[in-house]
Amino acid sequence: MARVTYVQPDGSARTCTNFEGMAVMHLAVGNLVDGIDALCGGVRQCGTCHVYVDDAWAARVGGPGEDEAAMLEALGDRIEVRPTSRLSCQIHITEELDGLVVHVPDNQPGV
Amino acid sequence: MAALALEAPAEPPTLDGGLPLLGHLTDFFRDPVKLLRDGYNKRGPIFSFRMGGRRMVVLLGPDNNRFVFQETDKLLSIRESMPFFHKMFSPNFYSFAEMEEYLRQRAVIMPRFKASAMKQYVPVMAEESMALAYSLGDSGEFDLVQTLGPVVMDIAAHSFMGRDFKQKLGHEFFDLFRDFSGGMEFVLPLWVPTRKMRKSQAAKRKLHRILTDWIAERRRNPVEPADFFQDIVAATYPDGTPIADELIIHMILLLVWAGHETTTGQVSWALIDILQNPGYRETLQGELQQILGSTSGADMSWDQAIAMQKMDLALRETERLHPVAFTMIRKAAADFEREGYQVHKGDWVLLAPSVSHRMSEVFTAPDEYRPERFDTERADAKVESNSLIGFGGGMHRCAGVNFARMEMKVLLAVLLQRYDMQLIDEPRPIAGAGTYWPAQPCRVRYRRRKLEEAAPADIAALAAAAGCPAHAKGGA
């Protein structure tokens, strides 16, 4: 199992457990975590599942792929993009990510 | 030798036997799960076999599952893997369209399937489940697939096309739809005019006519408040372009097809598993008593459905033991190496939930029904990521997963709350390579339960008091 903790802007946190073939986005949506909207359903087309990966995990999770980076860049003037920004639909959960912490941003583009 | 192996990865081990030219084609279509399980027992988690001119490479276990999910649309293609789909829908539709078009279409469908969007569907699911209960009366017998199939279809038709549609055209639609589903064909080339295929194409034409009229009707007279169909008819792409009627029709047919074909089988297996395991059935009926009291479930709320966590575990366990989508197919878009084995461009790559879900390296006592293995609150729970894959994974994970799980939950809750049930026939899977339904007959004998008068729990208040964030904002 791999546990992922979602930290809200107000500091409250929820931890959810994955054993399916899910991305960080799927796990949040399936558990009704606030602030991860995923309007496109997980195909890096809407940016509404944007999260900041916790600094302690950023290296292990790695940076965005080419298409994802292009999407984040395009959203740059609507949301605050940081070096740890990722689209959570593109972070596939594996056992190596057990304990992962991500921060949910204040708002998602267009939501 | 080691150096040599590094230079040229080995071909995956192959299955013994098989006919000249046909390979294991006939074995596969007679009993695909047996073929795949034997392959795993004899050759391990990666092996290959031939079907006619095609080479199939089977990849098993959580890490191979992860690999396939992550590489779909990269090293692996989903577009070419289901030729029957082109004929049933259109070559430019959904997963099988070019990427850009797929993404546009997905953005229209997905917001309506979010877990929180299920709130609006729970009353429809409860209403249709109760309609079954009323028609069953107090005691008797029913056949699982024949009885639950139409309810699943009613829920889909009511949810996706509106109450008025279901009332007006429900049965005609259901019959046409059955013929249409018959077009799911894995083996024969699609130009062979089999009876099944001709019927499917004729049904498709009629369904298109019905839905074209229905779209026109809804454009003329929109319903308020808007239901799913009204939303789709009014929907535009993110850039504001309206959606063509043709595409709306494909979307609706896809949703109903995907939802009906799989959910009918899965919910039937779920009830079979519960009835074969009386200990857990009692656990579930206890949970229902707590949540629904002595009420029938006709007024079931979303909060109550969410609170049925033991039922969630039962559904996960049935998904593991009887995954109706027993294989998932991709086509290799390039040469690549996997765990020291060479996969060639053009090979078909198979995931097999039916085998991976029963690997003893992954699950303790894999053939036993133990729903609590998925209770992640338990200290001894240890289910690996990517080990439960009945709904697929990655970018192409089933878009309807939240809908499917919710409707199975509501239907099972209504039946278990109302009846004591017993299986009459010994359940077994259907023969052949279709969706993995229980074979007919698989009948259930039922008798109305006497429930002690009790009030349902106020779930929203309980959950908010327990600090559930989903309830923190006045019942989000």
Note the pLDDT tens digit of each residue in B327-356: 898 999 999 999 999 999 999 999 999 999
Pairing outcome for strands B54-59 and B388-393: unpaired
Q: How far apart are alpha carbons B202 and A57 in whole angstroms?
A: 55
Question: Strand B139-143 vs strand B341-343: parallel, antiparallel, or unpaired?
Answer: unpaired
Tokens of B123: 């009353």
A 10 A CB-CB count for B309 gives 12
Q: Is residue A109 part of a domain?
A: no
Give per-residue pLDDT as tens, B413-429: 999 999 999 999 999 88
- Give just the sign of the alpha carbon dihedral B373, B375, B378, B384: positive
Domain of A20, CATH number, reads 3.10.20.30
Domain span at residue B223 reads 2-471
Residue A31, domain member (yes or no): yes
What integer is the mean pLDDT of B390-409?
A: 91
Per the document, the length of chain A is 111
- Nearby residues of B17 by Cβ (< 8 Å), 6 or more positions away: B24, B27
Q: Is residue B302 in a domain?
A: yes
Secondary structure element (H or E) that encloses residue B269, with its range: helix B245-276
Distance CA B386, CA B374 (A): 13
- The CATH number that applies at residue B102 is 1.10.630.10
What mean pLDDT, rounded, does chain A reach? 93
In angstroms, the Cα distances linking B333 to A78, B75, B86, B425, B466 are 36, 5, 19, 45, 50
The answer to whether residue B476 sits within a structural domain is: no
Q: Check residue B12 and report its DSSP letter.
A: P
Complex confidence, ipTM = 0.91
Q: What share of chain B is helix, strand, coil (3-state, %, to 5)?
A: 55, 15, 35
List all residues of chain B from 271 to 310 with a beta carbon under 8 Å from chain A.
306
**B4 pLDDT more than 60:** no
Given its phi and psi angles, is residue B475 left (phi above 0), alpha (psi -120 to 50 degrees) or beta? left
Structure tokens at B114: 């979010």
H/E stretch holding A4: strand A2-7
Hey, what are B464's tokens? 């908010």
Q: Which pLDDT score, from 0 to 100, does residue B92 have?
A: 60
Residue partners of A75: CB distance under 8 A and separation at least 6 = A47, A50, A81, A109
Judged by average pLDDT, the poorest of A25-34, B135-144, B266-275 is A25-34
Tokens 């908010």 belong to B464
Q: Does B451 touch chain A (CB under 8 A)?
A: no
Chain A interface includes B110 (CB < 8 A): yes
| Residue B350: closest CA among B1, B67, B108, B7 | B67
Which single residue is written with the structure tokens 């602030």? A35
Query: In the block, which residue shows the tokens 């489940």?
Result: B129
A89 CB within 8 Å of a chain B CB: yes
Q: What is the pLDDT of residue B475?
A: 37
A-contacting residues of B 366-395, CB under 8 Å?
A: 374, 376, 381-389, 391-395
Is the pLDDT at B476 greater than 50, yes or no?
Answer: no
Structure tokens at B434: 């279709």
The residue range of the domain holding A56 is 2-103
Residues of chain B contacting residue A99, judged by C-beta atoms under 8 Å apart: none
Residue B234 has pLDDT above 60, yes or no: yes
> Residue B138: is it exposed, middle or buried by C-beta count within 10 angstroms (0-12/13-18/19+)?
exposed
Question: Does any domain span residue B231?
Answer: yes
How many domains does chain A divide into?
1
Q: What is the pLDDT of residues B21-69, one digit of tens each?
A: 788 888 887 888 999 999 999 999 999 999 888 899 999 999 999 999 9
A2, A14, A40 member nearest B110 (Cβ): A40
Cβ contacts from A onto B, under 8 A: 99
Contacts of A68 in chain B (CB under 8 A): none
- Find, in chain B, the residue whose alpha carbon is nearest to that of A29: B115
Give B350's DSSP letter: E
Sign of torsion, CA B166 B170 B176 B181?
Answer: positive
Please state the domain count of chain B: 1
Averaged pLDDT of chain B: 86
Residue A109: CB atoms within 10 Å = 17
Over 90: is that where the pLDDT of B276 sits? yes
Please report whether residue A38 resides in a domain.
yes
Is A108 a domain residue?
Answer: no
Contact between chains at A92 and B470 (C-beta distance less than 8 A): no
Residue the block writes with tokens 């577009």: B79
Instruction: Output DSSP code: residue B450.
Output: P
Count of CB atoms within 10 A of residue B74's CB? Answer: 12
Q: Is B189 domain-assigned?
A: yes
Taking an 8 Å cut-off on Cβ atoms, the answer to whether B399 and A95 are in contact is no
**Closest by alpha carbon to B358, among B41, B5, B53?**
B41
| Residue B4, Cβ density class (10 Å: 0-12 exposed, 13-18 middle, ≥19 buried) | exposed
Contact between chains at B384 and A19 (C-beta distance less than 8 A): yes
3-class DSSP string for B352-406: CHHHHCCCCCCCCCCCCCCHHHHCCCCCCCCCCCCCEEEEEEHHHCCCCHHHHHH
Q: Kindly state whether residue B265 falls inside one of the protein's structural domains.
A: yes
A75 in contact with B, Cβ within 8 Å? no
CB A104 within 8 A of CB A35: yes
3-state secondary structure of B112: helix
Q: Is A93 near chain B, with CB under 8 Å?
A: yes
Pairing of strands A100-103, A2-7: parallel
Q: Which residue of B has its CA nearest to A33?
A: B470
Q: How confident is the model at residue B236 (pLDDT cuts 50, 70, 90)?
A: confident
Higher pLDDT, B389 or B396: B389
